[in-house]
Amino acid sequence: MADGDSSAAAEHVARALGHAPALPEVHELLSQLAARSGDGGLELFPAGPHAPAGVLAARAHLLAAAGLPEAALPLLALASARQPAVEWADVPWVGEPTLGVRMEPDLLAQTLMRLCTAAGDPAPPSVRPYLAVVRNAIAAHPEHALLLGAGSALARRIGESGLAIEWAARGARVRPSKLGEIWLGYAYRSAGRLPEALAALRRAVTHDPDDLSVYADIAGTLADNGRLDDALAWVDRALARDPDYDCAVHTAHRLRHRADGDLAHLVRLADFIREHPDETHEHTDLADCCHTIPWLGGAPAAAPLPRGNVPAAAEPGAEAVRRLRQVATLSWPHPSAAYDAAVSLILVPVPDLLGLLAHPPADVAAAEVWACLGLLHHGTEEPWLDSARRRLLLDLLDGGLDRVTEAALFGLIVSAWIDPDARADVASIVAGRLTEVASRPGARSVAELALATPDLDASARQLATALTRVPVIPRQRKGTRHLLLRWRRDF
């Protein structure tokens, strides 16, 4: 500012707002910038579609200072939507009682809906100041159904379930609609009032029987409250109308897996996701189901197994190690996602991937697993049975039980998740390996891998299940208790 470079000064102020949105010194500098500008500083903070949150907030504060808080609030709410955890709205002008009265109710409702979608459920405490604006707006417009519903959505997300029910119920009475009943159902559900929640959601269905997302919501609500059979009945109603509706398909597979634990439901869901890349929105059903299951949601922590079976390979290059560090982690959403996450390892030559198996960096989590996933990305144009990637992974299975053979077996299993043509072959390989090691110490690890294998035959699955149920027995050695079998991280 002292040098007359207002643009550079504005950039620093916008960044400072992002770190301390209510710091008085930042607002003082913003006021000084505005005083030096012909249009109150607005040209220094353009509100383009990709404007940073700090720029949006700065422009909002300038508009509010210029007597236009009703034009400022949507910009500030957009900043909150982009960075919900930041206390953007903790400023005096947002709390002014007149702001809610001055806001056009349709615009405020739309602003709240965008904010709620971005903030999540529950929302962080930083969005609470917007509730005061809604209170004052509803006092001025007590029968505006859209505002009542959007206000209910905000109140519910910040723990004000009583207020959420009051506003949603009033909105549904003023203008009965599908959306109004959905808001009311969600408000009741957040308060733990299941019968009222289900009644409201069923009324939403009568308003629009073709909105299958409501069927999925009802099913999820029933399942979360122990009524799995009723939940599956609603899923089946949705699928009867549209067998490919993504919300219903995801919910159906998740609930059926919850009902019987059959891995086939998850494999079919993974197939559906691969075959339907353009879904209506992001789903987490597959990841939620895989989260706590060994190998489906992550690798066990480094086990005290020997590393006897390693390929004869030179040390990997620095670039190979760097790329491994970028992707390696002990957890992943599901096997197909682990494969996708390893795609950058296609740039690591096969000799270097083998080098990573022979000489895994000590600071890299599950290095052997990711090296084997990297091998899967090489030669993908080759049919599975005749492929080099299959041959390489099979070669790594030779020998005893160790981290390399575990990783190679998992690589084969992932290939079955992403390629239906590989399933019968991989299931046969895994079943044979399980039978071979069933009586050895450490067989539990192979059993866990077998239970993650698509299309494993019933007898192999029964053996794997029995092996995983064998208790882990401690033994005494030199005054210290050790576990005979491997331990795993609780994902």
Average pLDDT of the residues in 462-483: 60
pLDDT of residue 442: 80
Is residue 351 over pLDDT 80?
yes
Average pLDDT over residues 439-449: 91
Cα angle 436, 438, 443 (rounded to 5 degrees) comes to 110
Residue 475 pLDDT more than 60?
Answer: no
319 falls in which pLDDT band (50, 70, 90)?
very high
Query: What 3-state class would DSSP assign to 298?
Result: strand
Q: Grade residue 300 by pLDDT with cuts at 50, 70 and 90.
A: confident
Looking up tokens 């790329």 gives 323
**DSSP H helical ranges for 120-211:** 129-140, 145-157, 161-174, 178-190, 194-207
Average pLDDT over every residue of 94-117? 96
Q: Considering only 202-211, 321-330, 436-445, which range has the smallest mean pLDDT?
A: 436-445
pLDDT band at 471 (very low <50, low <70, confident <90, very high): low
Report CA Rg, the chain: 29
Cβ 328 vs Cβ 366: under 8 Å: yes
Question: What is the spatial distance between Cα 254 and Cα 248, in angstroms, rounded to a whole number?
Answer: 10
Residue 474 in 3-state DSSP?
Answer: strand
Is the separation of the CB atoms in 376 and 410 below 8 Å?
no
| Cis bond upstream, residue 122 (ω within 30) | yes
The per-residue b/e assignment along 256-280, b for 16 or more CB within 10 angstroms, e otherwise, is bbeeeeebebbbbbbbbbeeeeeee
pLDDT at 487: 25
Nearest to 63 by CA among 53, 74, 52: 74
Mean pLDDT of 3-31: 92
Q: Name the packing angle between helices 178-190 and 161-174 (round to 10°).
A: 160
> Model pTM?
0.81
pLDDT of residue 474 exceeding 60? no
* pLDDT beyond 60 at 486: no
Percent of the chain with pLDDT over 90: 83
pLDDT tens figures, 363-390:
998 999 999 999 999 999 999 999 999 9
Query: Would you state the pLDDT for residue 285?
Result: 95
**Residue predicted with more confidence, 248 or 2:** 248
Mean pLDDT value of segment 29-50: 88
Average pLDDT of every residue of the chain: 91
* Mean local confidence (pLDDT), 475-487: 31
The backbone torsions φ and ψ at residue 111, rounded to the nearest 5 degrees and listed phi first, read: -60, -45
Would you state the pLDDT for residue 231? 96
Band of pLDDT at residue 476, cut at 50, 70 and 90: very low
CA distances from 122 to 16, 45, 125, 132, 222 (A): 27, 31, 9, 18, 20
Q: How far is CA 253 from the centre of its chain?
A: 18
Rounded CA-CA distance 99/120 in Å is 25
pLDDT, mean of residues 66-72: 95
Which of the four CATH numbers 3.40.50, 1.25.40, 1.10.1670, 1.20.1510 does domain 209-290 have? 1.25.40
Weakest mean pLDDT among 231-235, 396-400, 426-430: 396-400
**pLDDT confidence of residue 382:** 96
- Report pLDDT for 307: 60
What's at 193, amino acid-wise? R
Paired tokens of 486: 């491997």
As a whole number, mean pLDDT of residues 264-273 equals: 97
| pLDDT, mean of residues 274-296 | 90
Written as one string, the DSSP assignment of 102-117 is HS-HHHHHHHHHHHHH
Name which of 334, 326, 420, 414 is nearest 372 in CA terms: 414
Section 201-226 average pLDDT: 94
From the CB of residue 352, how many other CB atoms can be counted at a distance below 10 Å?
24
Q: Give CA 266 to chain center in angstroms.
A: 17
Nearest Cα to 175, choosing from 212, 204, 146?
A: 146
Looking at residue 42, its pLDDT comes to 92
Residue 266: DSSP 8-state:
H
Using alpha carbons, select from 285, 347, 277, 272 the residue that is nearest to residue 316: 347
The answer to whether residues 314 and 351 touch, using CB atoms and an 8 Å cutoff, is yes
Domains of the chain by residue range: 209-290, 318-483
Q: Which of the two residues, 308 and 86, has the higher pLDDT score?
A: 86
Asked if pLDDT for residue 489 goes beyond 80, the answer is: no
Amino acid letter for position 197: A
